[in-house]
Structure 1
Amino acid sequence: MKKSIFLCLLVFCSSSLVAQTKMRAAWVATVANTDWPSSQHLTVLQQKKECQELLNLAVQLKLNTIIFQVRPHGDALYKSAFEPWSDRLTGVQGKYPGYDPLQYWIEQCHKRGLKIHAWFNPYRVQHPTVKEPLAKNSLQRKAKSWCIYLKKGYVWLNPASKAVRQYVQTVILDCARRYDIDGIHLDDYFYPYKDFLPASGFPDAKEYSAYLKTKPSKVMDKEMWRRHQVNTLVYSLHKGLERLKPQLEFGISPFGIWKPGFPKGVKGTSSFDSLACDSRRWLREGWVDYLSPQLYWPESAPQQRFSSLLNWWKMQNPLNKKIVPGLASWRTEPKELINQMKRCEYDPKVHGFSHFSLGAIQKNSYLKQQLINYGRDRK
């Protein structure tokens, strides 16, 4: 009897220790002033106060990692020699905000024992919320040939351009080199979602024709060729960061469905086909330290069931890289959200969770209190 009780206690303590060491993260989105700063017209002191309030909430929630968006659309929330200061800070692209936001976030995170990952959007150059005038060193001014104008006011860099890929990597490695961050993070925007595209699709016929003229021994169709462009960037970043700062974690948060039918019964947008993202390969090849698939559906969703997708992703991980599911904290009912968090924390093949987003939790007083209570009860 005593032996059985001892074994139960041992298993419980081991499970609690595993749960404590996993990544408990939240995204902080700056695009369109989603989470921070709340407005383009705040003073430096007001911006810093909002930062502190968000991070104090992260501590209350017992989080340990902040994924902070530093490049929402070809701009910078840090001092960059390559790109203009983000208009999210002042309302004017290129205007110095009076301090270095990323450096401040790093200091405030580390002061609280939080890790901080710098989040980059690699290819988006213009968001509909960005207004003229553009800064002189905006990509739309200094590299017009790289820019592709899409629907709804979006402008994109061409993933098929070698010069673009080298530039994006240079920007990211420069930030990683100069700042005391704990990780680099990319989101799900590689080739754009169909909502942004003209009826004719992404305009890269010229680049694909140029590829065909090289007479490759094994011809890739256009979809495979696009995935190759994305894979090239991901692999290059993986190797570049490994050489520069091997202690940094490199993570990506792809759309949660790799392909419809994987697992059986799943339907929805295909990350593999529509966004040219072979996110399963990144995991299997070990090109990322963690993958945070956006599993933004409830257990009741018949064609995107949370547990079905999570179990499938667990099976795609032969190298035991970190799987850190993204949770739809802005729309999931609190009880279900907490159940998803528990599953991620106590499943030995899952390595934590990430809330989208910290600002969404802060704005929902009921959800915030429920998650604070859950964090308080955690061992």
Structure 2
Amino acid sequence: MKAQSYWYRYLLAVGLMGAIANLCLGQGIDADVEPGASSPKEIQIPTVQLNPTTPSSPTPVSSPVTIARRISNEPADVAAMNQHDNSAGTGADRAVPTAHGNKGGATPQTENLPLDKASLLQIRKQQLGKPEFRGAWVTRFDWVSPNAEQMRSKIVQIMDLAKAAGLNAVVFQVRADASTFYPSELEPWSHLIGGRDPGFDPVQFAIDEAHKRGLEFHAYINAMPCSEKKEGPSDPRHIWFRHCTAQSNPNWLVYEGGKPAEFKEYWWLNPNLPEVQTYVRMVVLDFATRYNVDGIHYDRIRFPGPKVSDDPWSLARFRNGANPKSLNYNEWQCENITKMLCDIYGAVIAVKPNIKFTAAVWGIHDKTRMPQGNDRAIGYSWTSSGLQDYHQDSIGWTKRGCIDALIPMIYWEMGDKKPDYDELLAYFVQNAANDRHIYGGQKVFNDVEMLRQAVATQLVGGKGTCPFTLMRVHEKGLIGFYRSAIFPDDVPTPPMPWKTQPSKAVVLVTVKDQKGMPVLDAYVKTPGRSDVWLSSADGFCAILDAEPGSNVTVTAEKDGVGRGVSESFNAIPGKPARVTVVLK
């Protein structure tokens, strides 16, 4: 009860109780490796002559931008994997063969691919004309500025570039580190934008500019970073000052060695804590409710490393009733991220059912299921992977239905040593459940390699591509090549029938005690299933895969609080049901 009272008071203090009541309770380069910030020069948009049947040479860009960028704090394994960069933009004639077998690719579908550009172009022509996700990441470093007019200009130029490249979607960053690039009552303006209202809503402006050009707008949100400043944020409205200090109980930061983990690109929030899970859900729900976006895109949706978090609050939950599946600690940490994503998905689709959820995830999901060995011509044993090193079970998210598409950050080419883009993408395609889409997240290489990866993506069953970043495509002079060779026709993004014609029902549950207070970590169950859902800090949990039926009930119980059963309801696909369970 003490923890529940704390959270209730916190919600009242920040003015979220009404939002929860109305929206949740039914009452009324991650891109993981990001470049250092710099100020781009004005973007020059190339003029592209379209000829789908005879792709032209890359159109030169007048006064090309030469923006000096670097990879900050690049993980050692990523640096090693990119020793063979193949980074020149235009002018390459042949792709690099694999180190093992000297082949055109590393999968049965791609091993016989030709290496010359002309032959790859002919294969690509045969793949055109059907829906495909043609996106690109746009980071905060590409457009944010304290100068309002510069921001407007950059946004317009970026959307012009996206259209010129033949894209049909932009993955556009709107939030970085618990601060925003849009007006919010929950979080302060980012210091990158000057820490104040710029006099207009930059994100609404970007959405409007994208939609004017027929581009889907996927709002790119850094989920778990708390602050990108080593000294911490300066704005007193930031959650840092309420929940990340030595006096905070619980402290919302991840711990390592019994104290907040060392600063690594960011100070990181701890998804093991129900308070953090609920807070992130409120932020995403607030944004999705207020903006007409096509998608929500998570980045940094993971822990910062394999040894976190050993904080006392996480350990207490793990040992005292918040582990109904009897998982080991690392599995339990993975489950906490998945649970948070399930709750966000359910809360958002109840008010905006068509929003698509995507995530930038580690490019190697589980290295133990890849070819083994430390010989980099054949094996992956030397690499890091999402499951083992970042407690990120992205494939598990597809099984639970809390994500619509994964964008694994496969920032490696298809040739030379491991990792291989096509082999890793094929793993995600083969293991994703419920027909969820896989889009290849790419590093920007030269023209022939980007063409080969586009071809390979379709051959292994991927539904599209997303290079990191649109500005890097431009900087390497590839905008014209994209339009003339890779995306010469206009197609929509691929359909998601589980959203338009769902077969499962969504049930949004709120658990309370007899005094009307939210109950944390209650066990929520549905008849005929052994699955257990846990209620969060505000008593909320989302069941995303309930079987359709009439006169359905939900039960909840918690030791020391009581047990309860909901009123009966109809579980109907496409119509989320909201129910309350009172424990007595």
Q: TM-score range by the shorter chain?
A: 0.7 to 0.9
Encode CA deviations 1:304-336: one digit per residue, 9 max, x unaligned: 11111121111113421111110112xx23211
The reply to whether residue 236 of structure 1 matches residue 340 of structure 2 is: no
Encode CA deviations 1:50-108: one digit per residue, 9 max, x unaligned: 11111111111100111111111101111111000111212xx3x11111111000110
Aligned residue in 2 for 1:276: 391
The reply to whether residue 105 of structure 1 matches residue 239 of structure 2 is: no
Number of aligned residue pairs? 348
Q: Which amino acid aligns with 2:148?
A: V
- Is the Cα–Cα contact under 8 Å of residues 166 and 488 in structure 2 kept in the other structure? no
CA drift of 1:223 comes to 0.4
CA drift of 1:111 comes to 0.6
TM-score of the superposition, structure 1-length normalised? 0.84
- In structure 2, do the counterparts of structure 1 residues 141 and 316 end up closer, same or farther at CA, with 3 Å as the change threshold? same
1:248-259 mapped onto 2 (5 Å cutoff): 248-259=355-366
Aligned residue in 1 for 2:178: 74
CA drift of 1:151 comes to 2.2
Please state which structure has a larger fraction of its residues in helix.
1
Tell me the distance in 2 between the aligned counterparts of 1:169 and 1:376: 36
Q: Which runs of 5+ in 1 are unaligned?
A: 1-10, 195-199
Tell me the distance in 2 between the aligned counterparts of 1:114 and 1:261: 38
CA drift of 1:274 comes to 1.3
The structure with higher relative contact order (CA 8 Å, sep 6+) is 2
CA drift of 1:259 comes to 1.1
The reply to whether residue 367 of structure 1 matches residue 478 of structure 2 is: yes
Q: Which of residues 310, 325, 339 in structure 1 aligns to 2:452?
A: 339
1:323 partner SS: strand
Q: CA RMSD in A?
A: 2.5
Tell me the distance in 1 between the aligned counterparts of 2:231 and 2:312: 30
- In structure 2, do the counterparts of structure 1 residues 13 and 25 end up closer, same or farther at CA, with 3 Å as the change threshold? closer
- Is the Cα–Cα contact under 8 Å of residues 188 and 255 in structure 1 kept in the other structure? no
Tell me the distance in 2 between the aligned counterparts of 1:109 and 1:85: 22
Q: Which runs of 5+ in 2 are unaligned?
A: 1-122, 254-259, 372-378, 491-584
- Is the Cα–Cα contact under 8 Å of residues 273 and 313 in structure 2 kept in the other structure? no
The reply to whether residue 96 of structure 1 matches residue 207 of structure 2 is: no
CA drift of 1:45 comes to 1.5
Tell me the distance in 2 between the aligned counterparts of 1:368 and 1:169: 36
CA drift of 1:301 comes to 4.5
Q: Which amino acid aligns with 1:360?
A: R
- Is the Cα–Cα contact under 8 Å of residues 166 and 482 in structure 2 kept in the other structure? no
TM-score of the superposition, structure 2-length normalised? 0.56
Tell me the distance in 1 between the aligned counterparts of 2:235 and 2:183: 15
CA drift of 1:219 comes to 3.2
CA drift of 1:374 comes to 2.4
Tell me the distance in 1 between the aligned counterparts of 2:283 and 2:135: 24
Q: Which of residues 300, 314, 318 in structure 1 aligns to 2:429?
A: 314
Encode CA deviations 1:222-258: one digit per residue, 9 max, x unaligned: 1011111111111112212221211110111110101
- Is the Cα–Cα contact under 8 Å of residues 426 and 461 in structure 2 kept in the other structure? no
- In structure 2, do the counterparts of structure 1 residues 277 and 99 end up closer, same or farther at CA, with 3 Å as the change threshold? same
- In structure 2, do the counterparts of structure 1 residues 299 and 178 end up closer, same or farther at CA, with 3 Å as the change threshold? same
Aligned residue in 1 for 2:408: 293
Aligned residue in 2 for 1:247: 354
1:122-161 mapped onto 2 (5 Å cutoff): 122-128=223-229, 134-144=234-244, 145=248, 146-148=251-253, 149=260, 150-152=262-264, 154-161=266-273
Aligned residue in 1 for 2:275: 163
Moved more, 281-290 or 58-67: 281-290
Aligned residue in 2 for 1:6: none
- In structure 2, do the counterparts of structure 1 residues 132 and 286 end up closer, same or farther at CA, with 3 Å as the change threshold? closer
Tell me the distance in 1 between the aligned counterparts of 2:321 and 2:136: 45
1:294 partner SS: strand
Moved more, 235-244 or 268-277: 235-244
Q: Which of residues 175, 179, 182 in structure 1 aligns to 2:287?
A: 175
Q: Which amino acid aligns with 1:258?
A: H
- In structure 2, do the counterparts of structure 1 residues 126 and 133 end up closer, same or farther at CA, with 3 Å as the change threshold? closer
Tell me the distance in 1 between the aligned counterparts of 2:391 and 2:124: 42
Tell me the distance in 2 between the aligned counterparts of 1:223 and 1:244: 33
Tell me the distance in 2 between the aligned counterparts of 1:248 and 1:70: 16
1:253 partner SS: strand
Encode CA deviations 1:153-190: one digit per residue, 9 max, x unaligned: 63221111101101100110111011111011101442
Q: Percent identity among equivalent residues?
A: 25
- Is the Cα–Cα contact under 8 Å of residues 165 and 480 in structure 2 kept in the other structure? no
The reply to whether residue 23 of structure 1 matches residue 130 of structure 2 is: no
Please state which structure has a larger fraction of its residues in strand.
2
Tell me the distance in 2 between the aligned counterparts of 1:225 and 1:233: 12
- Is the Cα–Cα contact under 8 Å of residues 212 and 219 in structure 1 kept in the other structure? no
- After the TM superposition, which segments of 4 or more aligned residues of structure 1 sit over 6 Å from their partners? 11-14, 130-133
CA drift of 1:211 comes to 2.3
- In structure 2, do the counterparts of structure 1 residues 58 and 218 end up closer, same or farther at CA, with 3 Å as the change threshold? closer
The reply to whether residue 358 of structure 1 matches residue 462 of structure 2 is: no
